[in-house]
Amino acid sequence: MSNPLLQAFFVGRAVAEVINERVEIALTDALSDLGKFDAEAREQMRQFTEEVLERANRAAEAANAGQSTPGAGYSSPDSVDIQATIDELRAEIAVLRNELQRYRSSSL
């Protein structure tokens, strides 16, 4: 090639083609990695959801196993113990309120 203008044109064209190919390869790799990441994230979310639901079901089954019959919840010994605990807590709250009022009145 004796014409430098023609040589510059072909060199520029070759540079553009090489850059275009490399950008295409880089973009393809990036999209591939993004797709892989998305698939892995979805799989991890699916596993997380399954584990949460499995634990919730086990907890529900354990809670249901503790009840002898569904309709007799008020007459079971567990409910009497719960009611006694609630009554004791209410009594403690009342005592603490009285002490708090006494403290407030003495600090004024």
Helix runs in the chain, H state only: 4-66, 77-107
The total of structural domains in the chain comes to 2
Which residues form the domain of 99? 71-108
Residues 36 and 5 in one domain: yes
62: pLDDT strictly greater than 90: no
Residues 60 and 77 in one domain: no
CB 38 within 8 A of CB 46: no
Residues 57 and 5 in one domain: yes
CA distance 91 to 97: 10
65: pLDDT strictly greater than 70: yes
Residues 28 and 59 in one domain: yes
pLDDT classification of 77: cutoffs 50, 70, 90: low
pTM of whole model > 0.75?
no
